[in-house]
Amino acid sequence: MKEGTFSIEVDTVTAASWSARLEAFADANLYQTWAYGVVRWGERNLSHLVLTRGGRTIAMAQLVMAGPRRVRAGIAYLRWGPLWRPKGEEDDVAILARMGDVLRDEYVRRRGLYLRVLPGVCIGTRHGAAFETAFAGYRSEPFKRGESYRTLIVDLAPSLEVLRKNLDQKWRNQLNRAEKNGLVVREGDSPDDFAAYIAMHDEMLARKRFSGASDVREFARMQRLLPAGQKMHIMICEDVGVPVAGLVGTTVGDTGVYLLGATTGQGMKAKGAYLLQWRMIQRLKAQGAVRYDLNGINPETNPGVHHFKAGMAGEDLLYMPPRVSCDAVGSALFAGAARLAGGSLRQRILRGR
């Protein structure tokens, strides 16, 4: 389908082609990878839209589709997209605005769905302002319970010397202690590396009497499907040959994201988490990443993690809330019911809606 100099491809791209095109975007992220969509939602529940101009991909979006079968109603959900910033090019808000129109034409007007877009950008930033402008025709929707809306982002533009100086004094003292403890950090992205991380994660959950191991194993399944350039990076900190702390992060585009962290009792004493975070900052700098997203904070419900992350001197920012568009009453009612259903909606999707 052609519109002027633009071409739109809907649900025609292959997994290999999608992964290759994703590499060209500075705003690429784990949640827009084919592997994440397949493991998290199931391949038959995904929809892929690509916008090209002159034969070149300039924007793309992976959405999950949810709704009753054989009924023209449901939800199209886009997380941390669309992608619209090709690497090495000036930001063109006109492309983002065009994508906003194309998404609404395809999923709201043609399919009659409730379109929910979670941009993955922060209020008050340059890219946040771009989304405000481009999606002005959408309405804002409050975050659902459990969705992270506040985060800390470390600007990686300064030198490593300045970044270390910017660390909170107490945080830097703990890092100094870790570096004197003779800890060894090994890095990789293999199944064995993930297995070593999961063992520590399970031990930590048991110690704190938390649940939630299934998500960790989902990430391990995604890792097996991700192409080499998009795999998550795993760091394991060892004390006298024993794994005591672990970190899992992702850098698909120009932003590093802290995904998972685990520390054993021995690791807490050795301050392994401090050493791993600093090594991740060093790695991101070497890769040319421009920022490090610490992936959510909640000072009220999780003050310990907030205190730890705050020590890295990131900017305290709010994610932009979802933008939604819907013209169909049936889809609006389904979306309202889905909000009340919470996590059970995902289970219904995985069972085939």
CA angle 131, 134, 136 (to 5 degrees): 95
Structure tokens of 135? 């999606």
| Total count of domains within the chain | 2
Q: How far apart are CA 296 and CA 309, in angstroms?
A: 9
* CA Rg value for the chain: 21
pLDDT of residue 254: 97
pLDDT of residue 350: 41
Residues 123 and 48 in one domain: yes
pLDDT of residue 343: 57
From start to end of 83-210, where are the E strands?
114-118, 139-140, 150-155, 184-188
Structure tokens of 84? 């619209």
How would DSSP label each residue in 249-271?
EE-SSSEEEEEEEEE-HHHHHHT
Structure tokens of 98? 């065009």
Contact by Cβ (8 Å): 24, 65: no
Residues 309 and 171 in one domain: yes
Residues 213 and 340 in one domain: no
Residues 100 and 236 in one domain: no
Tens digits of pLDDT across the chain (353 residues): 445 588 999 999 999 999 999 999 999 999 999 999 999 999 999 999 999 998 899 999 999 999 887 777 899 999 999 999 999 999 999 999 999 999 999 999 999 999 999 999 999 999 999 999 999 999 999 877 666 689 999 999 999 999 999 999 999 999 999 999 999 999 999 999 999 999 999 988 888 877 655 689 999 999 999 999 999 999 999 999 999 999 999 999 999 999 999 999 999 999 999 999 999 999 999 999 999 999 988 888 889 999 999 999 999 999 999 999 999 998 988 888 887 766 555 554 444 43
pLDDT of residue 313: 95
| Kind plus residue range of the DSSP H or E element containing 62 | strand 56-66
Residues 141 and 156 in one domain: no
pLDDT of residue 60: 98
Residues 69 and 118 in one domain: yes
Residues 249 and 229 in one domain: yes
pLDDT of residue 342: 62
Residues 57 and 131 in one domain: yes
CA angle 198, 200, 204 (to 5 degrees): 115
- CATH code at 80? 3.40.630.30
Residues 52 and 165 in one domain: no
Structure tokens of 309? 């992350």
Residues 283 and 143 in one domain: no
Structural domain that includes position 139: 2-147+320-350
